[in-house]
A and B are shown apart, each in its own frame.
Chain A
Amino acid sequence: MTDLNANGRNMARTTTPSPSVTPSRLAAFLRWLRSDLRAALALTYLLILVLAAVLAPLLAPYSPTDQNIMNMLAEPSAEHWLGTDDLGRDTLSRLMYGAGNALYAAGLAVGVAVVIGVPVGVFIGFVGGWIDEVVSRVIDAVLAFPPIVLAVAITGALGIGLTNAMLAVGFGFAPYLARTMRAQTLVVRGSLYVDAAVGFGASRFHLIRKHILPNAIQPVIVEVTLLLAVALLAEAGLSFLSLGVQAPEASWGGMLARAYSYIEIAPAQMYAPGFAILCTALAFNALGESIRVLLDPTVKRH
């Protein structure tokens, strides 16, 4: 056939195979990282963070909860690379243990949001009618509350603790995903290939699973990475308010709260948790932006 386009000109999707080579997702992934410095940096940072969190018991120079009253609010030094907090605990060790809590919190909140938001969004987008109207108004009502405020209220009812707090944040995020998913489902459901699939005998379940979900999910993937950053900040904020991670466990938000109290005596204590939160949120955002570009077929890449 001569009317076959030269393949490889448009590499908008990682999985676009070349006709002669069997598609290798790993090779395509590595090619993507080579072409996108931002994504490579963000992923590298997050990988280091995950390793630090997982290997904290092995790598951390001190226990995160060992107090040393003789060495409170120490400046960074050879023994304590990032100094110590107001109870003489090693800041670097607490930062590493806190990373685990931060990632768990962000993952849990976004996981809850996806599990609730995506099915609801697809369902109401697909069935439409009065069900869509009613559920959409409920979603609007939930959206009227800022997620953090909602989380504070729900945590108050469920009991204080990181898991409860992040379940609440996840519940607050779910309407955002549901709304995006609903809008995307409406767009995809109206496209000709969905009609064509029905025309070739696809059942409704098959239609949703095989055609609507894969096509509608792309903006949601991007939104998820952005929500990860927001969830991280929510964890820090709730722990700052002592609604999340409870003392003496380490949390970036909690560390920031303690350092804030001593800002005039030991301003350097703010930097470590502050930068950790900042960099992680930035990494999630950068990854989200890179994935968005990757999934956009109109962006030509070489």
Chain B
Amino acid sequence: MSATAAKGPVAGPETGMATDKVLLSVEDLKLDLRDENGWVRVLDGVSFDIRPKETLGVVGESGCGKSMTALSIMQLLPPRSARTEGRINFAGRDLLSLSRRQMSRIRGRNISMIFQEPMSALDPVFTVGAQIRETVQCHFDVSKREADERAIDALDSVGIAAPRQVAQLYPMSLSGGMRQRVMIAMALVCEPDLIIADEPTTALDVTIQSQIMDLLLNLSQKRGTAILFITHNLALVSQNCDRMITMYGGQIIEGGPVSEVLARPLHPYTTGLLHSIPDAGRARGTLNAIPGRVPSLRAMPPGCRFEPRCPHATAHCTQAVALERIAERQIRCHRWQELAGSAAPMTAGAL
């Protein structure tokens, strides 16, 4: 067992970690969204870093704020009904302080995003070649011919067999897997530093899923692109990511290197997620589920947000809990030390 967590808890947030160059640093990100009932807090103090060439996985149930974190970084939320606070530092610039024009120069050029639904993320009335060309021409002062060539090269690099022909097709004549390849080509064509992949394989069937993941990771490794990989698939995280964070109810509740977090989860929620993965070898039996549902954003528990569903909750858990940093790991739980020391599943004797 690695000894990183054995150095003991460090009270309060640690502001070190300056030794590594950081590409994207999200600090205390708060997001409020407005609906007909008024403003509601969707993200509450989200902080994480991504270093160059690193793959960071973000996991959690639907509605926990994964996608909202991505959209906040890209600033794709409508300004009238979304309010962002905190800092999002990207390569030395605070994205939240940039003008709309400055931000649109970064989008697609330095940070690009791959969406969950390849079926609807491409414009139906233009050929895919034209759409990739447009992206190139948005950011580089090149001729149409040159942009077309780069588009075809990009299609070639994502494993499309006849890129010159496919470039002339409309999205409707492509399958889901092909469309997601086209999206990846579009995301990579300007050679960004960071790709945000929001459940890029959820809408695809399983055989295509692994092809697409391999493709995305190989290409970004080759080009030194960092990836923020949003998913609810822990298997994909364990295979593909360097570090991971778990989100619940708009907060980060656990974070750290993938190998450590998955081997010895500290938060009961992460443990629950791990236990919920159906075991393919076991043909029958009940699926292990975490009881209850994610609480409504308007009715978040005052203390630990997982407390109503947590099997280890005590009276103390109804009080607010801060995110603690222990070396490489982060944890937001009142009882993590007790649980880690005693009968917590999978972690017995680890600390």
List A residues at the B interface (Cβ < 8 Å).
Answer: 1, 3-5, 7, 10, 12-13, 16-17, 19-20, 23, 128-129, 191-193, 195-204, 206, 210-211, 214-215, 297
B173 pairs with A215, CB closer than 8 A:
no
Residues of B within 8 A of A200 (CB): 107-108, 112-113, 134-135, 138, 186-187
Q: Is B229 an interface residue (CB 8 A)?
A: no
A10, A128, A191, A206: the one contacting B138 at CB < 8 Å is A206
The interface residues of chain A lying within 8 Å CB-to-CB of B160 are: 1
Q: A4-B166, A17-B168, A17-B169 are in contact. Are A203 and B138 (CB under 8 A)?
A: yes
A-B contact pairs, 18 of them (CB 8 A): A1-B162, A3-B176, A3-B177, A3-B208, A4-B175, A5-B173, A10-B172, A16-B170, A192-B115, A193-B122, A197-B134, A200-B187, A201-B104, A201-B105, A201-B106, A201-B139, A203-B138, A215-B125
**Of A3, A19, A128, most B-chain CB atoms within 10 Å:** A3
B170 to chain A, nearest CB (A): 6
List the B side residues contacting A214 at CB < 8 Å: 123, 125-126
User: Does chain A have a CB within 8 A of B101?
Assistant: yes
CB-based contact A5/B174 at 8 Å:
yes
CB of B192, distance to nearest CB on chain A (Å): 10
- Cα A286 to Cα B243 with chains together (Å): 62
Assess the B123–A197 pair: CB atoms within 8 A.
yes
Query: Which of A4, A23, A192, A215 lies in contact with B174, CB distance below 8 A?
Result: A4
* Complex contact B168–A215 (CB within 8 A): no
Q: Can you name the residue of chain A whose Cβ is closest to the Cβ of B107?
A: A201
CB within 8 A of A210: which of B100, B134, B168? B134
Q: How far is the CB of A4 from chain B (nearest CB, A)?
A: 6
Find chain A residues with CB under 8 A from B177 CB. Answer: 3
Which residues B181-215 have CB closer than 8 A to chain A? 183, 186-187, 190, 208
Which size bracket describes the interface of B in this complex?
35 or more
* CA gap between A221 and B2 in the complex, in Å: 67
Contacts of B100 in A (CB 8 A): 204
Interface hub of B123, B138, B177, B178 (most chain A Cβ within 10 A):
B123
With a cutoff of 8 Å between Cβ atoms, the chain B residues found around residue A5 in the complex are 173-175
CA distance A16 to B171 in the complex (A): 10
| In-complex Cβ contact of B76 among A20, A128, A195 (8 A) | A195
**In the complex, what distance in Å separates the CA atom of A1 from the CA atom of B186?**
18
Interface assignment of B121: CB less than 8 Å from any CB of chain A: yes
Say yes or no: is B305 at the interface (Cβ < 8 Å to chain A): no
A175 to B: closest C-beta gap in Å: 26
Residues of the A chain whose Cβ atoms lie less than 8 Å from the Cβ of B154? none
A215 touches B101 (CB 8 A): no
A74 and B42 alpha carbons, distance in the complex (Å): 82
Q: With a CB–CB cut-off of 8 A, which chain A residues contact B115?
A: 192, 195-196, 199
CB distance from A252 to the nearest CB of B (A): 38
List the 6 shortest-distance A-B pairs measured between CB atoms, nearest first: A201-B108, A200-B108, A3-B175, A196-B121, A199-B113, A192-B120
Tell me, rounded to whole Å, the shortest Cβ–Cβ distance linking A297 to chain B. 7
Taking CB atoms, residues of chain A closer than 8 Å to B166 are 1, 4, 19
Kindly list chain B residues whose C-beta atoms are within 8 Å of the C-beta of A10.
172-173
Complex: chain B residue closest to A20, CB-CB: B165
Instruction: Give the contacts of B72-101 with A (CB-CB under 8 A).
Output: 74, 76, 80, 100-101
A240 vs chain B, min Cβ distance (A): 42
User: Which residues of the partner chain B approach A297 to less than 8 Å between Cβ atoms?
Assistant: 124, 172
* Contact partners of B168 in chain A: CB under 8 A: 17, 19, 23
Q: For residue B125, which residues in chain A have a CB less than 8 angstroms away from its CB? A: 214-215
When distances are taken between beta carbons in the complex, the residues of chain A under 8 Å from B159 are 1
Does B315 have its Cβ within 8 Å of any Cβ on chain A?
no
When the two chains form their complex, are residues A13 and B170 in contact, meaning their CB atoms are under 8 A apart?
yes
In the complex formed, the residue of A with least CB distance to B70 is A199
> Bound state CA distance, A139 and B120, in angstroms?
32
Chain A residues whose CB sits within 8 angstroms of the CB of B126 once the complex forms: 210, 214
- Report B-chain residues with C-beta under 8 Å of the C-beta of A4: 166, 173-175, 178
Selected from A13, A203, A204, A215, the residue in CB contact (under 8 A) with B123 is: A215
**Distance, CA A193 to CA B107, complexed state (A):** 15
Cα(A198)–Cα(B124), bound, Å: 16
Nearest Cβ in chain B — how far from A188, in angstroms? 9
